[in-house]
Structure 1
Amino acid sequence: MAKNRFSSTAGPSQRQLRVGEVIRRALSDILNRGDIHDPDLNRLSVTVGEVRTSPDLKIATVYVMPLGGQHRDEAIAGLKRNKGELRRLLSKEVVLKNAPDLRFQIDETFDRMDHTRELFARDEVRRDLDDEDEDDGAGEER
């Protein structure tokens, strides 16, 4: 059976990463300038954290977070409502064969970082980490 080239678990290609970063920068600029004709969206400060593209570059998943993490639903709704205009403005800034279909999701990276910090701050984790540091230095001679 032939191997499907899109099902490899190796991760995104260099091309996908490069195009995703170009799209991320362009969308950040568009949102920062307030080029969208939607006052509800323009009053929100939205950070574009990451853009992941499909292997054929036809779909771009945009991970966003409103400033301060508040008004998440409102930001996603505004971006989805203005998806066509964002795609049109993106196609003017980024030279691609086809402008990708934009899909918006909340960027959970910040929440995961906070959770990780909380885990490391726990007494039992700190104790285990301190024990490990002592074990590493006990057997060394200089």
Structure 2
Amino acid sequence: MSIRTYAVNCNDAWLNTKGDDITGSYVKYKDHQEVVAELQAKCAALADESEERRQFILNGVEMGFIRLPDKDTRDPATATYERCLNGIQYMPCPKCNDTGMMDSGGTQPWGEPIEIECDCRQQDAKTADLVSAGIITKVGE
């Protein structure tokens, strides 16, 4: 994908060719619209593919072809399954980067940081069903 640029003077406009300096060049609105339409089509295709993959994971777990990790095991696969259930995009926790443990600000006498359970591991209303079903014990576990 490329966008066509045009050099302009007071009397004329001409299409830049490969290798031309495009500093100060212009883009026709029509050309810009074509590129935007192409990008929107690619985004829609990716969204469709993502939805197909989400459904594949959900169906695989439901039918027993995909086995979830044990409840007491911290595994990113559980977070992936939760995102599929919630239909949301993945964004790692900024405090713990999905490790479940964050820095308390204190240090051990030997200099090691003291870690505490991260706030992101606290249960909310959305995960109550998963906990009651025994799929997870806390968010991300």
TM above 0.5, yes or no, is no
TM-score for the superposition, normalised by structure 2: 0.25
Structure 1 or 2, whichever has the larger Rg, is 2
TM-score for the superposition, normalised by structure 1: 0.25
Which protein is richer in helix relative to its size?
Answer: 1
